[in-house]
Amino acid sequence: MRPAPFPIVKDLVLVGGGHSHVIALKRIGMRPIPGVRVTVIARDIDTPYSGMLPGLIAGHYTFDQIHIDLGPLAQFAGARFYHDDAIGLDLTNSVVHCQNRPPVHYDVLSIDIGVTPAFRAVGAKDHAVPVKPIGTLAARLERLRARVRREYRPLKIGVVGAGAAGVELTLAIQFALCKDESSLENQTEARVEHEFHLFSAAETVLPTHNRRTQRVFLRILRERGVHVHLRCRVVQVKPDGLVAEDKTYYPVDEIVWATEARAQQWPGVSGLEVDELGFICVDDTLQSRSHQGVFAAGDIAAVVNHPREKAGVFAVRQGAPLEANLRRSLKGQPLKPFMPQRKFLSLVSTGDQYAVASRGRWSIEGGWVWRWKDWIDQRFIKRFRDLPPMNEAADRPSSQLAAVASPDVVRELSAVAMRCGGCGSKVGATILNQVLKRLQPIDRADVVLGLDALDDASIERVPAGLVAVRTVDAFRSIVDDPYTFGRIAANHCLGDVYAMGADPITALALATIPLGPECKMEQLLEELLSGAVDVLNAADTALVGGHTKEGLETELGLALTGVGQPDHLLRKGGMKPGDHLLVTKPIGTGTLFAAHMRMKARGCWIDAAVEMMLQSSREAGNVLRANGATACTDVTGFGLLGHLLEMTRASQVDACLRFEAIPLLDGAAETVAGGYLSSLQPQNARLRSAIANIAAVRSQTIYSVLFDPQTAGGLLASVPADSVTVCLNRLHAAGYLRASDIGTVEPLSDRAAPIHIEV
């Protein structure tokens, strides 16, 4: 990723991707804060705009139309995006604990994590579908629609909760099912009429709205045939029905839970002041009443002096004042209070393209109201989809750092700027020693001297009858999360050993980290090496030493030693005519991350690519070796065609690839077609002369993917024809679900270009 234009002196961490945070991120991207590193921790990459959920259910919008992609937005804001769940805080040491990664340090923290369902009835958690998270609801309703098409019988659907969410969802589901019936209706069969029940513990529907709006919706629900049960509190949910407080039993086939929500427990358990429902108590500045430097916004926040209902409009309005106060807090400036409005415009849809507007005591309805609502909603989403192009960081005076840095940090950074580099830019012993104390690399019996020794080099034994296999690789960070990058880098480097059919035993690390205050450098180095050590430990490989230096950006390399039996090692040479070519992972990381740097890749594409890069090739190597692989290599910087060309030359054979059989990562075809290519692509593309039918291949839209450089790519191997089916089945069973048979090995011909590609 791009090196930071300033040393990092403070960390702003945003937990959650709610409405307030997406607005804050956009504003930070428009006006970055020198010296501040922003990190976003979120469970979901695509964050939904709640006001458009009924439209999604009714079929007026697609999934993409109602979601904000946090990946490009974080890129625009210059923020690191950690796809993970926050599970707790250490308020004393200022760290956020996450589900699947090391703790994240902060100087200023903001929380916007929304709410979770309040399942107050017995059995509701087991048998009802909550409105949130939206992904779960949408998937369950899609299964309901499939069930309706399959069974073609009337179903009873119950919605518990008659606020705006419950009413809108009831009418949206009804509209969607009726639309399905209209499109599938058979002239010889009677139309299926589904039965809808809406349960309200209050005396009416939409209890927080004015009476006119309540009357309008009671009329609409009656006209649509919805059975409305008022003053009917549900106390028990069974697999096939609901039980009310008065013991009345209502049989239903599907149950949607849309009652009031509650807060997640971890903010209160961590020690933040919360109210009786677990919402974080904040003052008028949106700062926690119990802890300075901790903010909360959106539904998770309870503004003590201005209590309001949980509505998206308040979260949206809090975005700008939240960002302004986060900026002030980082600079040590006084915070400014924010007072939310008492009355707000509410636009409630009726399933079809019709809606009701209410504010205060007035209410109005019509198709034009829905079009108005659609215009407002689409305009909001557009703010985060049409992001301006990123500008390269301009030189700015380092004096700007004084706004967020303490005098001690400024003096420290001044000393950093004067470092001569004569010591090899080596990181100081204090930082390194502190990090090494907390790392937990495994011990191996064949390591005589390792990381715990003070000597200048490691010593290890090579067991009798085996040979040593050594390799080294290093590259700059392609993701913003140093822990994830450490894991990716270790997987990438280990791929060379697995491709040889050897077992890694030790590793030396070469790490580069940007200049900054010692505390920030220490945190970064620990996360980076922790990621690498986690992967090395899983590979039964001991980290025995290395070298750490200062630089402009984060880099990591590993020098690995492995061992193997001389007769069982795999090499690039060895392919035989008739063998089939298998690849264990899809390709496309180069083009995806080229697009990512330009904010043109969807967050879910990058997330899937990272998951692929985090998959070890260890078991793939074992499967290939057990099934008689004759040659093997890992697909990395030279791209699929470059590495295959090496194998054909070493084996003195030709090869035929089936273009349509090559597995691609999600989004790679789109980014290649869009012209987003890695900076290494032009060098790799010089190998196009190795393609015998280059004229036919070049006309393919995704031709360039053949030269796409890979990071932590899969293995490319030749396997005897009679082993292909078994080998692929075993690769799929081992988790390499996209492993594919992409071609065959042919006898050496007299043509100059050894590779033919079927298109």
pLDDT recorded at residue 438: 85
Cβ atoms of 15 and 39 closer than 8 Å: no
Please list the alpha-helical segments (H only) found in 429-544.
429-438, 482-499, 518-538
pLDDT recorded at residue 135: 67
Distance CA 729, CA 719 (A): 13
pLDDT recorded at residue 190: 52
Q: Helices 134-151 and 164-184 sit at what angle, rounded to 10 degrees?
A: 30
243-260 mean pLDDT: 90
Q: How many CB atoms lie within 10 A of CB 453?
A: 14
Distance CA 90, CA 558 (A): 33
Say which DSSP state 299 is in.
G
Q: How many CB atoms lie within 10 A of CB 617?
A: 26
Q: How many CB atoms lie within 10 A of CB 484?
A: 24
pLDDT at 116 over 50: yes
pLDDT in tens, 535-565: 999 999 999 988 888 888 899 999 999 999 9
pLDDT at 186 over 80: no
Report the percent of the chain where pLDDT is more than 90: 67
Confidence of residue 460 (pLDDT cuts 50, 70, 90): confident
pLDDT at 421 over 70: no
pLDDT recorded at residue 397: 47
pLDDT recorded at residue 402: 61
pLDDT at 67 over 50: yes
pLDDT in tens, 650-661: 999 999 999 999
pLDDT recorded at residue 261: 78
Q: What are phi and psi of 11, to 5 degrees?
A: -115, 125
633-637 mean pLDDT: 95
206-212 mean pLDDT: 92
Helix (H, G, I), strand (E, B) or coil at 363: strand
Say which DSSP state 245 is in.
T
CA 379 to chain centre: 25
pLDDT at 675 over 80: yes
Average pLDDT, the chain: 89
445-459 mean pLDDT: 77
377-384 mean pLDDT: 93
pLDDT at 726 over 90: yes
Which residues participate in catalysis according to the annotation?
Answer: 423
613-640 mean pLDDT: 96
pLDDT recorded at residue 123: 86
pLDDT at 407 over 90: no
Task: Please name the residues in contact with 664: beta carbons below 8 A apart, sequence gap of 6 or more.
Answer: 586, 587, 588, 702, 705
449-453 mean pLDDT: 75
Confidence of residue 392 (pLDDT cuts 50, 70, 90): very low
Tokens for 623?
A: 């499967």
Distance CA 566, CA 563 (A): 9
Q: What are phi and psi of 185, to 5 degrees?
A: -60, 130
Distance CA 485, CA 524 (A): 11
Q: What are phi and psi of 600, to 5 degrees?
A: -115, 10
pLDDT in tens, 29-54: 999 999 899 999 999 999 989 889 99
Distance CA 439, CA 419 (A): 28
pLDDT recorded at residue 426: 56
pLDDT at 337 over 90: yes
pLDDT recorded at residue 120: 80
Confidence of residue 396 (pLDDT cuts 50, 70, 90): very low
For 329, the enclosing helix (H) or strand (E) is helix 312-331
pLDDT recorded at residue 202: 92
Instruction: Give me the amino acid identity at 30.
Output: M
CA 538 to chain centre: 23
Confidence of residue 4 (pLDDT cuts 50, 70, 90): low
Beta bridge partners of 302: 281
277-292 mean pLDDT: 95
Q: What are phi and psi of 681, to 5 degrees?
A: -55, -50
pLDDT recorded at residue 410: 59
pLDDT at 339 over 90: no
pLDDT at 411 over 70: no
Tokens for 363?
A: 């209410």
**Which residue is associated with the tokens 């625009």?**
76
Confidence of residue 142 (pLDDT cuts 50, 70, 90): confident
Report the percent of the chain where pLDDT is more than 70: 91
15-32 mean pLDDT: 94
